[in-house]
Amino acid sequence: MREMTDRALDTAAQGGATYADVRIVRRTEESISIKSGRLEGVSSGETEGFGVRVLVDGAWGFASSHLLETAEIDRVAAEAVRIARASATALRRAVNLDDRPSAHGTYETPITEDPFAVSLETKIDELTAADAAAFGVKGITFTETSYAAQREHKVFAASDGSYTDQTITHVGAGVEANTVEGDEHQRRSYPDAGGGWQAAGYEFVRGLDLVGHAGAYAEEAVALLSAPQCPSGKATIILDPSQLYLQIHESCGHPTELDRVFGTEASYAGTSFLTTDKLDSHFRYGSDLVTIVADATAPGGMGTFGWDDEGVAGQAVPLVQDGIFVGYLSSRETAPRIERRSGGAMRADGWNRIPLIRMTNINLLPRPGMSLAEIVEDTDDGLYLASNRSWSIDDRRLNFQFATEVAYEVKGGKKGRLFKNPTYTGITYEFWRSCDAVGDERSYVMLGTPNCGKGEPGQVGHVGHAVPGARFRNVQIGVGKW
Amino acid sequence: MVARRGAEWLPLAEKVLAHAKAEGASEAEVLVSGDDAQLTRFANSEIHQNVAETNAQVNLRFVSGKRIGVASSGRLDDDGLRRLAEQAAAIARNVEELPDWAGLPEPTPITDVPAGFSDATAAATPEMRAEAARDVIAAADEAGVTAYGSFATSTESLAVANSRGVRAAQERTSSQLITVSMGPDGGTGYAEQAAIDATVIDAIKLGREAAEKARSTANARAIEPGDYAVVLEEYAVVDLLDMLGYLGFSALAVQEERSFVEIGRKVGSDLVTIWDDGSDPAGLPMAFDYEGVAKQRVPLLDGGVCQGVVYDTQTGARDHRTSTGHGLPAPNPYGPFPLNMLMAAGSVSRDELIGGIERGLLVTRFHYTNPVHPKLVIITGMTRDGTFLVEDGRIVGPVRNLRFTQSYLKALEGVSGVSRERKCLRGFLGGVVVPALRVDSFTFTGATEH
């Protein structure tokens, strides 16, 4: 491996690169999909290749290939240099990287049970049983039960002598029960829409106990068909972790990406309202209860690693402290522009993509006091919303709207009847300022999504979110005409 | 680097078929796909990302009776291909039978679509893309705004071979330039063009279109959400087709009862006609699907009436019919999708569309849309990069962006005007060809600060 990375770096240097790095990545995946009792698909896949990133004349170039051969390494490194020279013809501000210490070492996701070593038969049997438990409920139209595992082995080397070797394993699984009657289509998912995911081994899947939960969730999906429509108006809402994590993802994770703040995503997903003047002016992002950290060291999080994809060590970076905006997700290129060091958030979706600033684990820290159940008990009148069904946010991450699979009425501190098609909307900072309760350690769980899109060409990221559940006041619910 | 021709992948596919046969496959299908893709990205009026990729992948669907295993690999050497067959066979041996397995598709006559390939695109260089970026930036500079965007070029090589005799190979090119301009007073504008031949993309024109719109949207004023008549520019109409295709125009969606489509049901106004056609050079053509089946022209809506949905082999068998050539790579729990949608042009100009509005909005495009209720096709999203108030048939001025929560089916019902000009654009399901539309009522449910 060293020979290949040295060759790529040498070729880049000979071509005039003042900085270069190379990643050799091998990704192995396995997936199982069952629909309504029918084993729809079982697949395994692997992809391997390398990407070379160079700085020439202050401009970036990147080239990549699936062919791990000497001649191809030479061609690709030279192509990266040529591309950088083309970039330099439309450059107004030369790239300046911070001076992080060179990176050396190995990292491996701690796992108990290797998901790729568990027999296919065992996995299919467990998923089939879970699917049957959901599909067997009267009134269910179709079910979807899924499992996936991904292992990425990546070597990173840079022209400053850095060399790291990491093996990262993620697994996910879930059951989804759907009911359709006329124009009405309702769904309940366990443990979460899109499944539950962690950086872990197969022990995480076993711990989900899909079989034990599938039936109850399916029954709730059936009950939703005859549930009343979610009311419209202003209300107190309590967000279950299965919805709160996506609220954080969209309204705190993305807007704190410093490349987005500097406009480099403007033509695609947009920019951010969290401009750098708000960092200097101690902008109030949320209530005093809101503390959010980007923590690349959190156990089980899909944003946990040893080093990011430009060799910066995984670390915890405060984003919001007691409601005040205090930091960004950053890179070696962007951090010096706010006179900081990189927070280590550069991540690439495989060998054929450049690293971008991505979320690591964006966690809403628990607050001592009430568990999520006790927050419900503390609520006279409101709605408890769980499991995301739809999400949307404007191009500066201000106006958001979410739909969840289910809303439970909360009256006198108790969860009661169901409402179907719940939605809520708001403006990011107004919403977070209205937060008046955050769950404590007892409700704090690590969730995440394997489906975070960013960049052109498109990249899909795996990110983590540890959250405890929280309550918000005076929120607009029940949006639109039904 | 010009990518290998799709036909050059066929011998490799034959090798994999032989390995699969040696492993005991009763049927097998090999999909080889190669990509040579490049993208130059600019922001703050400078190039900030510039990338190239050479990639290839082999996908094997291994069938043993009614047991199916799928494996994929980027390794194309003999050992890698043999291992791929062993892996797919091992999966097939360990899974249950699919009781309604329809078998792999039989060969279909495939008509080449030569218009789908451009030598110029395949040979595009970083210098050529940088020149286009500089053209867009220069247009922005002239207008006193800042340019953002990307210019992508790619060559996709595809070969499919199966044990029933399917042998299909093709090579397609595509290119796309998108740009957003941002002005000092909060104005933003957008322009986009997709084409098979990258040299027909007019970077200067696109740069000027976005820059002019950014200037004209400066100092936008707030407007109350509510119901408004709208003119949706082509960039916004793409999202209507994408969502209808994703949620409704798939046979699997119908079979699972989650689609709005019922053949003969009228869901749109008489002016709404949509079809899928992989051979139409007005879009980004594709001769066959990922199962190697020739693409058929499929009417989806005709005069607002549901006419059909697209099929792959498996969903076709369930309805006792053949595939329409809309299969995706196996395994595919998502079903077939229309990847080449076109909407019929109308007879009026963009100005005439606007002229028909007493009080309403002109919307350049939508942002971050998502289904709130899939079967009713209720979608939420934001307007972006140019929203204008229209009064008495004239554009009065820019307004701040709004959130909508709207059934796209209801929007189709309310289509009262279709432009005669259409644009080839890229949606999330592939190339689409769309006109601008006037919709009599569209529900906006929220507002933002810009």
**Is A392 among the domain residues?**
yes
Say yes or no: A212 and A99 in one domain.
yes
Cα gap B427→B421, rounded to integer Å: 18
A456/B39 Cβ within 8 A = yes
A33/B445 Cβ within 8 A = no
Q: Nearest CA to CA, how far is A121 from chain B (Å)?
A: 6
Number of domains observed in the structure of chain A = 2
Say yes or no: A142 and A291 in one domain.
no
Is residue B390 a contact partner of residue B361, using CB atoms and an 8 Å limit?
yes
Say yes or no: B226 and B338 in one domain.
yes
SS3 string of chain B?
Answer: CCCCCHHHHHHHHHHHHHHHHHCCCCEEEEEEEEEEEEEEEEECCEEEEEEEEEEEEEEEEEEECCEEEEEEECCCCHHHHHHHHHHHHHHHHHCCCCCCCCCCCCCCCCCCCHHHCCHHHHCCCHHHHHHHHHHHHHHHHHHCCEEEEEEEEEEEEEEEEECCCCEEEEEEEEEEEEEEEECCCCCEEEEEEEECCHHHCCHHHHHHHHHHHHHHCCCCECCCCCEEEEEECHHHHHHHHHHHHHHCCEHHHHHCCCCCCCCCCECCCCCCCEEECCCCCCCCCCCECCCCCECCCEEEEECCEECCCECCHHHHHHCCCCCCCCCCCCCCCCCCCCCCEEECCCCECHHHHHHCCCEEEEEEEEEEEEEEECCCCEEEEEEEEEEEEEECCEEEEEECCEEEEEEHHHHHHCEEEEEEEEEEEEECCEEEEEEEEEEEEEEEEEECCC
Is residue B329 a contact partner of residue B410, using CB atoms and an 8 Å limit?
no
Residues of A in contact with B381 (CB under 8 A): 392
Number of domains observed in the structure of chain B = 2
- The whole-number average pLDDT for the span A175-201 is 96
Q: Nearest CA to CA, how far is B334 from chain A (Å)?
A: 10
Query: Residue A117 pLDDT more than 70?
Result: yes
Say yes or no: A214 and A354 in one domain.
no
Helix (H, G, I), strand (E, B) or coil at A83: helix
CA atoms within 13 A on the CB side of A70: 1
Say yes or no: B448 and B307 in one domain.
yes
Say what the pTM is. Answer: 0.96
Residues of A in contact with B51 (CB under 8 A): 62-64, 83, 353-354, 457
Q: Nearest CA to CA, how far is A2 from chain B (Å)?
A: 21
- Nearest residue on chain B to A265, judged by CA atoms? B43
User: Out of B56, B406, B449, whose CB is closest to A66?
Assistant: B56
Say yes or no: B199 and B252 in one domain.
no
Say yes or no: A139 and A252 in one domain.
no
B331/A33 Cβ within 8 A = yes
ipTM over 0.90: yes
Residues spanned by the domain of B93: 6-205
Give pLDDT, residue B5. 62
Cα gap B439→B418, rounded to integer Å: 9
Show which of residues 64-103 on chain B sit within 8 Å of chain A, judged by CB atoms: 68-75, 87, 90-91, 94-96, 98-100
Say yes or no: A163 and A20 in one domain.
yes
Say yes or no: A186 and A134 in one domain.
yes
**Is B212 among the domain residues?**
no
Give pLDDT, residue A481. 77
Select from A193, A225, A257 the last residue of a domain: A225
Say yes or no: A220 and A238 in one domain.
no
- The whole-number average pLDDT for the span A86-93 is 97
Select from A164, A199, A225 the last residue of a domain: A225
Say yes or no: A199 and A277 in one domain.
no
Select from A208, A225, A242 the last residue of a domain: A225
Helix (H, G, I), strand (E, B) or coil at A110: coil
**Is B29 among the domain residues?**
yes
Residues with Cβ within 8 Å of A297's Cβ and at least 6 positions away in sequence, in order, are: A304, A314, A315, A316
Tokens coding A401: 């709207």
Q: Could you tell me if B219 lies within 8 Å of chain A, comparing CB atoms?
A: no
**Is B211 among the domain residues?**
no
Is residue A404 a contact partner of residue A378, using CB atoms and an 8 Å limit?
no
Q: Nearest CA to CA, how far is B383 from chain A (Å)?
A: 8
A263/B44 Cβ within 8 A = yes
- Nearest residue on chain B to A272, judged by CA atoms? B450
Percent of the residues in chain A that have a pLDDT greater than 90, as a whole number: 98
Mutation to test the B interface, candidates A46, A60, A75, A334, most B Cβ within 10 Å: A46
- Nearest residue on chain A to B60, judged by CA atoms? A43
Say yes or no: B250 and B282 in one domain.
yes
Show which of residues 15-34 on chain B sit within 8 Å of chain A, judged by CB atoms: none
Burial class, B339, CB count within 10 angstroms (exposed 0-12 / middle 13-18 / buried 19+): buried
B74/A48 Cβ within 8 A = yes
**Is A482 among the domain residues?**
no
Residues spanned by the domain of A147: 2-225
**Is A130 among the domain residues?**
yes
Tens of each residue's pLDDT in chain B, 450 residues = 333 467 789 999 999 999 999 999 999 999 999 999 999 999 999 999 999 999 999 999 999 999 999 999 999 999 999 999 999 999 999 888 998 899 999 999 999 888 899 999 999 999 999 999 999 999 999 999 999 999 999 999 999 999 999 999 999 999 999 999 999 999 999 999 999 999 999 999 999 999 999 999 999 999 999 999 999 999 999 999 999 999 999 999 999 999 999 999 999 999 999 999 999 999 999 999 999 999 999 999 999 999 999 999 999 999 999 999 999 999 988 899 999 999 999 999 999 999 999 999 999 999 999 999 999 999 999 999 999 999 999 999 999 999 999 999 999 999 999 999 999 999 999 999 999 999 999 999 999 999
Say yes or no: B128 and B252 in one domain.
no
Q: For A375-391, how does the pLDDT look when each residue is reduced to its tens digit (9 = 90+)?
A: 999 999 999 999 999 99
List the Cα angle B197/B200/B205 in 5-degree steps.
145
Give pLDDT, residue B4. 46
Say yes or no: B147 and B271 in one domain.
no
Say yes or no: B30 and B160 in one domain.
yes
Select from B177, B205, B233 the last residue of a domain: B205
Say yes or no: B171 and B59 in one domain.
yes
Amino acid letter, B82: R
A124/B96 Cβ within 8 A = yes
A180/B53 Cβ within 8 A = no
Say yes or no: B299 and B372 in one domain.
yes
Select from B160, B176, B205 the last residue of a domain: B205
pLDDT band at A308 (very low <50, low <70, confident <90, very high): very high
Q: What is the CATH number of the domain that holds A207?
A: 3.30.2290.10
Q: For A330-375, how does the pLDDT look when each residue is reduced to its tens digit (9 = 90+)?
A: 999 999 999 999 999 999 999 999 999 999 999 999 999 999 999 9
Residues of A in contact with B94 (CB under 8 A): 42, 119-121, 124
Is residue A134 a contact partner of residue A214, using CB atoms and an 8 Å limit?
yes
Give pLDDT, residue B3. 38
Say yes or no: A67 and A188 in one domain.
yes
